Amino acid sequence: MFFNSRIDVRITDPLSEWLVKDKDLKFFGEIALATDIIETKRVPTMGVCITKTGFNLYYNPLFLDKLTPDGVKFVLIHEFMHLLSEHCLRSSSYGLDPHLSNCAQDMIINTEINRDYASKKITMPTGEMSGLLIPPDYKDIHISEVLYDYLKSDEFKKKNPELSDRLGDGDSLGQEFDCSGMSDEEVEELIDKLLKSGRYDVHLKNEVSDDVAKEMSRSLVQSLKTRGLLPSSMEEFLNKITPSKVDYLKRIKKSVSGFAGSVKYDTYLKLNRRGIEGKKGFKRDGVGINVLLDVSGSMNGMHEKVLSYCFQNNLYINLVQVDTEVKNEDVFKITNKNELQKMKLIGGGGTNLQPGIDFITANPKLNKLGLLILTDGDCDSLDVRKINGKTLIISCRIEVNVKGDNVEQIIIDKND
């Protein structure tokens, strides 16, 4: 007997089978041994969190009544994946909308389980109970924060109207709340609503700090790896769905390179290639990009790295110093890192960036270029609808409230 007899056999039977008979799934059985599995009416379905005493998995037996044995196995692996991928802390750490972030996390986990464990008959329930999957048109990395950006975009809503409506149907359902005061009929009705919106679980808040939760999760994985119980496929899976500093830097590099290009112009400084006397030759020069730099908070040196990528892509930057108003003398053309280091950046308390945006839109020459905004996220709401080019916002931990169509926002970990 591996598990407490008070735990529902519909949960303990597959876990015991994994421990004894299935080497490919033994890893999840070991995770379960390190988890306190609790029957409760606190949640309508299932949910996991990290407490001072360790890992907790909560389940409602009324939810198990709705699932087949294979469906129970699927949801158990789904829950353990939330623990291992640190999903319990990432939504709050990056300042994301809880509902949409949870949907992105569920999509990635469900898609990966369907692909990697179909041969074990661990497949997602079908029909009205089918879970959320990554949209087929999404081609980026399987990181929930990146997928989250896509789910917020107009492109996603246009290409996936039915899925977009389905995500909305689950809004606010199954968040942090207590079902103990509800009747069985009311709980069953809530479970049905959750399943129809593609949700199998509730995403609970950890009872410890983010740093402690991260250390506990990674220590568990490392201990299983040391014992030879972490399959290489599982390690690859975790590396793929867990963000790292490199992932964000790669994404930033890719986004910044999208501004790159060159401008051809005539000049007497270069000979005409046909040797015609008195006719100008031509040179190519890098294109520019407008930069609003919020120096009122801390980006842990990230702004220097991002601007370095600009220079590496043959971009010069128009650095706009933002105060309550912006004048022409507040705009500085910078072509390399050395010039940037010589700049004396002006910073103060809370930052209002909209005056800088308004200054750019009122200047036809500047408004031909793209816009890069670097901020710690503690700024005013922004309106970039009059910016002609692409707008890229790189924010540290907090999502910026912004209006505009051609906008990409990358939210980096405050510790990256």
| Structure confidence by residue, pLDDT tens digits, 34-49 | 999 999 988 999 999 9
Q: Is the per-residue pLDDT at 348 higher than 50?
A: no
Candidate from 6-15, 146-155, 240-249 with smallest mean pLDDT: 240-249
Of 180 and 50, the structure prediction assigns the larger pLDDT to 50
Of 161 and 330, the structure prediction assigns the larger pLDDT to 161
Average pLDDT for residues 149-177, to the nearest whole number?
A: 75
The count of other CB atoms within 10 Å of the CB of residue 388 is 14
Of 76 and 142, the structure prediction assigns the larger pLDDT to 76
- Integer Rg of the chain from CA: 26
Average pLDDT for residues 72-97, to the nearest whole number?
A: 78
Q: How confident is the model at residue 54 (pLDDT cuts 50, 70, 90)?
A: very high
pTM: 0.62
Share above pLDDT 70 across residues of the chain, in percent, rounded to a whole number: 78
Q: How confident is the model at residue 362 (pLDDT cuts 50, 70, 90)?
A: very high
For 304, the token pair is 């220097």
Q: How confident is the model at residue 88 (pLDDT cuts 50, 70, 90)?
A: low
Q: How confident is the model at residue 99 (pLDDT cuts 50, 70, 90)?
A: confident
Mean pLDDT (the chain, rounded): 79
- The phi, psi pair for 196, rounded to 5°, reads -70, -25
Q: How confident is the model at residue 174 (pLDDT cuts 50, 70, 90)?
A: very low
Q: Match 């003398």 to its residue by tokens.
A: 329
In order of their start, the domains of the chain are: 9-243 (no CATH), 249-412 (3.40.50)
Q: What are the pLDDT digits (tens) for 315-330?
A: 888 888 775 566 666 6
Q: Is the per-residue pLDDT at 1 higher than 60?
A: no
